[in-house]
Each structure stands twice: as structure tokens, then as C-alpha cells.
Structure 1
Amino acid sequence: MGNSKKKYKKNASNKSNTKWIFTIIIWSMIFCGSISFISDMLLKRVDLLVAFIILIFIVFAGIISDIIGVAVTVAKETPFHAMASNKIQEAKIAVRLIRNAEKVSSVCNDVVGDICGIVSGSIGILISSKVSNIVDVNITIITTMIGVLIGALTIGGKALGKGYAINNSNIIVRKVSKAIHFVKKGRC
């Protein structure tokens, strides 16, 4: 009898995991396509400075998302249970985030982080073409330099962010929970 319960739980878990993976793939396609389309349409009409600002914003969005994903993964529930017992609303949200750390991390680190990486690469190509119209330099050199800049900012920022997230995980989770609570409260 006990063995069949284990098989049932394992099958239910596998179905839930498969559904989650399918859902995340669909949402990734929607988000990536939408963000890429919107950024491409916007960037064709803006000047070079605005394009760089958008690029930096997207790179930092990826870094911040990565920080949140790491923080949720390493945060501890205990302090949030104490806050929840004191009726602090965002504590319940924090506990939910921590208990779903695998999914939160997947969304933050993989979906948002990867989309930001893809879109920043697309923006880099658009910026390269704008720069090549202004400066008489080989497009390959310009594209390489912009790619190096994007890579260095992204990798360096995420490396710094991971250490910060690990050392300040509960603080970060509380701030994210406050932001989620604020948004939820505003919608009600």
C-alpha cells in the first residue's frame, strides 16, 4: 500500500513538473517575442543615446532579476514566519516565494534573465548599425566591441549580484514581497 502512494505522488509530481515546464516555455515565447518586437520597433525611431539607455536598462533588468532569483533560492523562511505572526502582510508572500523557490528562480534567472540577454544582443546589433552609419569603421569591429560591452556588463553585474543576493537574501526577499504586496493592494 505504501509503495503505491509513493508512485502516485511521483506521477502527480511529474505531471505538475511537466505542466510547469510547458507553461514556462509558452510564457517565454510570448515575453521574448513581445519584448523583442517592441524594443526593435522603438529602437528604429530613437537616437543613439536613447538606444544605449534602453540597452543599459535591459541589462540591469536581467541583473536585478538574477539577484532576486538567487535571493529567493537561499533565503530562510523562519524570520518571515515570525513576521507573519505579527500580521505583516508581505511576510506571507515571502514564505510563498521561498516555498516556490525553484519556480521563482526559474522565472527570474532563466526566463527574465535569458530574455534580457537575447534582447540586449538584438539591441546591440541595432546600435551597431546606427554607429556604423555615423562612424566610418568596419561593422564587425563595432559589433564586436558592443558585444564585449554587453557581455562584460551582464556577466560582471550578475557575478557581483550573486554575492550580494547570497549575503542579503532575506532583505531582498522582503523588499520583493513588499513590492508584490503593494502591486496587489493597488489592484484591489
Structure 2
Amino acid sequence: MDDGYKHPSHEKKMKFRINILGSKNGNIRWIVLITILAFVLSSSLSFVSSNLLGDVNIFFSILIVLVIVFIGIIFDIIGIAVTSADESPFHAMASRKYYGAKQAIRLIRNANKVSSFCNDVVGDICGVISGTASAFIVFKVSQSVGGIVAFLVELSFAGFVAALTIGGKAIGKTIAIENCDYIVYKVGVIAKFLTGRFGIKKKKRKHKNRQMTNKKFKQNGQKSDDRKTNKNKNKQNKKDTV
């Protein structure tokens, strides 16, 4: 591309290294885990929704579709809020021992995982299930009403579900960005309540803690030995001067 600038012959071009999967093994594990989780959740939720829609009437089936769309919008708001939130105010809240502040900090520090779970896994699964459920509802309507009416119902209901999903997520994005700290704190409060309710505790790494304590003891022992040798040298120097 000719930009009108004369590039000298000795000028070096910067080369950037592209890292797709990340440098840590934890990223690869997370990708595998989230893929398996998405498969399990999508298959189980589609099975449950199809059974529910087959047993209820059209009114309740439409209500189920709206609930699925609403769940996708809520999780999309949470994922965007976590990526947009700032960690610094939650440190002050954690120092004052606010309920759920530490969980909010963990959510922000793991923003990539939280956003991929909320936006990609739950959001996309809800979108797929709502689409299949709306098609199932249209099929039930077409069995009872045929002709042009069934065609109009198919177009209108499919467009309504798509517009509700896209419009709800668009409104949710603005709400999430403007109120990101508040949303993250409320999610942290819910996470704190659930972990306390079900007795979920953070695993303590005993082996690493023991290694750290042994290193500290060794360092303290070396420092004390160095101090003793320095004191002995100072005493000998004083005696020699006397």
C-alpha cells in the first residue's frame, strides 16, 4: 500500500505472535470443559422443552418460549456486565466485609470464563431452543388451522421471537454497560448465598502452602545465621582494635 511515506531500507518491521489457545494449559481445559458442558446442556434442555411443549396447550407453550428468551437475555446482561465492570470498588467493599464482594472480585478476574458461559453457552442454547420451540408451536397451529392462516402465524411468530431476542439483548447491553458494577455485585451476592447454602467451599492447596512455609522458614533461618555471623565479626573487630 502506497501511503506517500518513504520507508528506509534499514527499517525493521514489527512481527506479532498470534496465540490462539493461550499460553496456559488452563485455557485449553476450559475450552474442552465448556464445549462438553454446552453439548450436555443443549441436549438436555432441548429434550425437556420438547416434552413440555408436547404435553401443554399453545398458550403455555408460548409462555415457555418467552421464559427461555428471557433467560437468554438475563445471562447476556450478566456476561457483558462482568466484562465491563471495574475491580477497584469491590476491593474497598471487601475490606469493609460487604456480603458478596469477594465473589464479585472473582467474577471480574474470571471475566473471560464467565462471559463465555453466560453469552456463548447459555445465550446461544436459549436462542437455539427458542427457535426449535417456536417451530414446534407453529407446527401445532398448522395442524389445527391450515391454509393462509397457518402461513401468517408462522411468519408472525417466528419474527416476534427473533425481534424479542435481538431487541431484548440490545436493550440489555446498554443496561449492562451503564450498571455493570451494580449487576456484578448482585450476582456476587447470589453466588455467595448459593455457596453458603449448598456448602461449597474453596479447595485449599495444602501441598503448595507447605512448600511456601518451608521456603519462608529457610529464608528466615538464613537471615538469622547471617545476622549471627555479622555480630561475631563485629565483636572480633572490636577486640582487635582494643
Unaligned 5+ runs, structure 2 = 1-19, 200-242
The CA deviation string for residues 79-125 of structure 1, in whole angstroms up to 9 with x for no partner, is 11011001123100000000110110000000000000000011101
Query: For 2:122 and 2:151, how far apart are their aligned partners in 1?
Result: 28
**C-alpha deviations, 1:7-57, integer Å up to 9, x for none?**
xxx998342222111111000000000000000011100001100110000
> 100, 116, 119: which one pairs with 2:110?
100
1:78 equivalenced with 2:97 (yes/no):
no
**Which of 41, 47, 52 in structure 2 is aligned with 1:42?**
52
1:147 to 2:158 alignment: yes
Instruction: Specify the SS of the correspondent of 2:74.
Output: helix
Q: Which amino acid aligns with 1:98?
A: I
Query: Mapping of 1:1-188 within 5 angstroms?
Result: 13-138=23-148, 139-188=150-199
Root mean square deviation of aligned Cα = 1.7
Distance 1:12 1:134, change over 3 A: closer
| Residue equivalent to 2:213 | none
Provide the rounded CA distance (Å) in 2 between the counterparts of 1:156 and 1:93: 30
Q: Residue 99 of structure 1 aligns to which amino acid in structure 2?
A: R
Greater Cα radius of gyration, structure 1 or 2: 2
SS class of match (1:44):
helix
What one-letter code is carried by the residue in structure 1 that aligns with 2:156?
M
> Is the contact between residue 21 and residue 27 of structure 2 (CA under 8 Å) also seen in structure 1?
no
In 2, the alpha carbon distance for the partners of 1:22 and 1:140 equals 42
In structure 1, the gaps of 5 or more residues are 1-9
Alignment: residue pair count? 179
State the TM-score, normalized to the length of structure 2: 0.70
Identity across the alignment (%): 47
Pick 1 or 2: higher relative contact order, CA cutoff 8 A, min separation 6: 1
Residue 143 to residue 16, structure 1, CA distance change in 2 (3 Å): same
CA distance in 1, matches of 2:128, 2:175: 24
Could you tell me the TM-score, scaled by structure 1's length?
0.90
